[in-house]
Chains A and B, each alone.
Chain A
Amino acid sequence: MPQPTPLGFRPGRSIPHRLDPRFKLILLAMVGIATLQADFRGLAALTVLILAALRHTGIPLASMAREMRYFVLLLVLVFIARALSTPGEALLSAAGVSVTREGVLAGGRVCWRPACVAAAAILFVVATRPSELRGAVIWLLAPVPGIPERRAGTMISLLVRFIPMVLDQARETSDAQRARCIECRKNPVARMAVLTIALLRRIFEDADRLVAAMEARCYSEDRTGPAFGATRLDWLVLLGAVLFCAGLFLVP
């Protein structure tokens, strides 16, 4: 039985769910840019806001943390490398290696920024239907020459739909292979090949079923998308976000 993954849309009526997807896309871009400049106070404020919004949408934070474990491991490694390699005032010394104050601060800053962006992006994906995402992407790409915005919009909405499916299938395939003692095989190449072949076969079959369903519904790139309309809530949230980001730039 597939377990729900936090990397896909979850229906709801929370404020992030009710916002206009175009505004959500703009807010997401603003978070990405603002975190480039933000320092600890700003990042702390942003983290509180994002965590509150995630909780409001009903995402189980524990399962989200479990899904992100490799990312967290990477951040921990980056933090340790920074803490040990940055010269400065030693906080702790052992066996000729020092953890410096400057290193801890630099490592904290470098790791906290992508963590905020990742959490904001998960919030966006969880609170936005793929069809709304498609419409927002088409709206965003329409002025850009050289990109077929309708096809790109469809492909991005498919991408968002496929990620949880791939993760579910990978989990199931991995569990099935573990039950057949795959871990007894020490050859990493064989393990990668066995897992990937089984995974790709299964998800290609799912993709074929999706194509058949799209054809059966007379799929056309010219279909009518969802109608967007900005409400007072959208403008209020955007205004709040602009002020917050301006604050991050002026008082980092």
Chain B
Amino acid sequence: MNQNPTTLQLHQTVYASLFAALIAAGAFLAIPIGPVPIVLQNMFVLLAGLLLGPRWGIAGVGIYLLAGTIGLPVFAGGTGGIGRLLGPTGGYLIAYLPAVWAVGLVSRRTGGRLIGDIAAMVLGTLIVYGLGVPYLKAVTGMPWAKAAAVGMLPFLIGDALKIAAAVPIARTLRPVMAGRTAALQAREYSRG
């Protein structure tokens, strides 16, 4: 393993850690819409895929899950521990890994176009529910209809709003990050 990361690697490492922190802090950040606050946590998972790409997106989410697994208070509501991964909502947390990878991959493959970003986030959301709801059913023994009613349907409107918000966020911040990356690559090239 490279013991002295390049500036670009160091930037990506810090950004991946930053997104892990955003995902953790996202459970405490909410936009109050009427009586129900919309929590931003899973929007940051989608944004990690869009802005960091599949590899560093996975690194960020992986660090978030690792920190939570060893007991740090990063899961929703400041909890942590292996019990959360084995509990009813563990499937959603584990699903963040393939979801962020898929979002990053589809977004990169479609060149960051609007329709590609939307498709990537819809796919990521489907992966989260595709793993989370069966896991919830398996752990709690609920019937399929109840598992979907409790673990998916109430959140779909909020998810649609988060995808709608993530599109302008990614389109605003991607050029900023790309500019930084290009500047770092040029600096490393000039250093030889």
Contacts and interface: CB of A to CB of B under 8 A. Distances in A.
Given A33-B82, A156-B63, A192-B43, A125 B72 contact: yes
Contacts of A99: none
B71 A29 contact: yes
B66 A124 contact: no
Main SS at interface, chain B: helix
A165 B18 CA distance: 10
Contact of A163 (B10, B63, B74): B74
Given A32-B83, A162-B18, A155 B71 contact: no
B64 to A, nearest CB: 7
B66 A152 contact: yes
B25 A221 contact: no
B5 to A, nearest CB: 7
A189 B164 contact: yes
A175 interface: no
Interface residues of B, number: 61
Contacts of A121: 71-73, 78-81
Interface of A: 7, 25, 28-29, 31-33, 35-36, 67-68, 70-71, 74-75, 113-114, 117-118, 120-122, 124-125, 137, 140, 147-148, 150-152, 154-156, 158-163, 165-167, 170, 188-193, 195-197, 200-201, 203-204, 207-208, 210-211, 214-215, 219-222
23 contacts: A28-B70, A29-B82, A70-B28, A71-B78, A75-B77, A118-B78, A121-B81, A124-B71, A148-B1, A159-B20, A159-B64, A159-B74, A160-B67, A162-B21, A166-B25, A170-B29, A188-B165, A190-B165, A192-B38, A192-B165, A196-B169, A203-B18, A203-B22
